[in-house]
Amino acid sequence: MKTTFALLLAVQLSLGSLFARPQATTPVRTQANPDDAEIRKLNAAETQAFLDKDPKAMAGLWSDDFVVTNPLNKFVNKQQVLKMVDSGFLVITSYDRHIEYLRFYGDTAIVAGSETVQWGGKMPNAGKTEHLRFTGIWMKQGGRWQEVARHANIVPQS
């Protein structure tokens, strides 16, 4: 009887460890990058430039070879985005960006997170508030940070 009980206990403990939920771990902290605050400031400036409908400010934040896959699933370059803003097609009336990830790889910074935007202008979804996921890539070029690429997609409602 003792042998059967010990065997059952061993099996139960083994199976329990196989199906146990992993324990939450504390994320590993990396050394802070002195450019962290600068990238966050530039992201806030980009958001404000859209709210202000200010293509000149946007142009200053973006590299000349900036490209974006936008929430309309179009792949566009800097000049095309600026033209959409100038024409009144691309208007954002409310914009809330939350950076959830920021990591540096030398002179490159990867920023990712979520956004809530209310569209205006001539956008097909004008008047709607939508939630987005985004990834932005910033590079230090000529001694200053500029965004070189961005991807943003609308999060489908469940």
In the predicted structure, residue 16 carries a pLDDT above the cut 50: no
Provide the pLDDT for residue 157: 87
Provide the pLDDT for residue 31: 54
Q: Give the model confidence (pLDDT) of 56-87 as tens digits.
A: 999 999 999 999 999 999 999 999 999 999 99
In the predicted structure, residue 23 carries a pLDDT above the cut 60: no
Q: Give the model confidence (pLDDT) of 37-59 as tens digits.
A: 999 999 999 999 999 999 999 99
Q: Give the model confidence (pLDDT) of 92-130 as tens digits.
A: 999 999 999 999 999 999 999 999 999 999 999 999 999
**Per-residue pLDDT band at 15 (split at 50, 70, 90):** very low
Provide the pLDDT for residue 48: 98
In the predicted structure, residue 1 carries a pLDDT above the cut 50: no
What's the chain look like in SS3? CHHHHHHHHHHHHHHHHHHCCCCCCCCCCCCCCCCHHHHHHHHHHHHHHHHCCCHHHHHHHEEEEEEEECCCCCEEEHHHHHHHHHCCCCEEEEEEEEEEEEEEECCEEEEEEEEEEEEECCCCCCCCEEEEEEEEEEEEECCEEEEEEEEEEECCCC
In the predicted structure, residue 18 carries a pLDDT above the cut 60: no
Q: List domains and CATH numbers for the chain.
A: 34-154 (3.10.450.50)
pTM for this prediction: 0.79
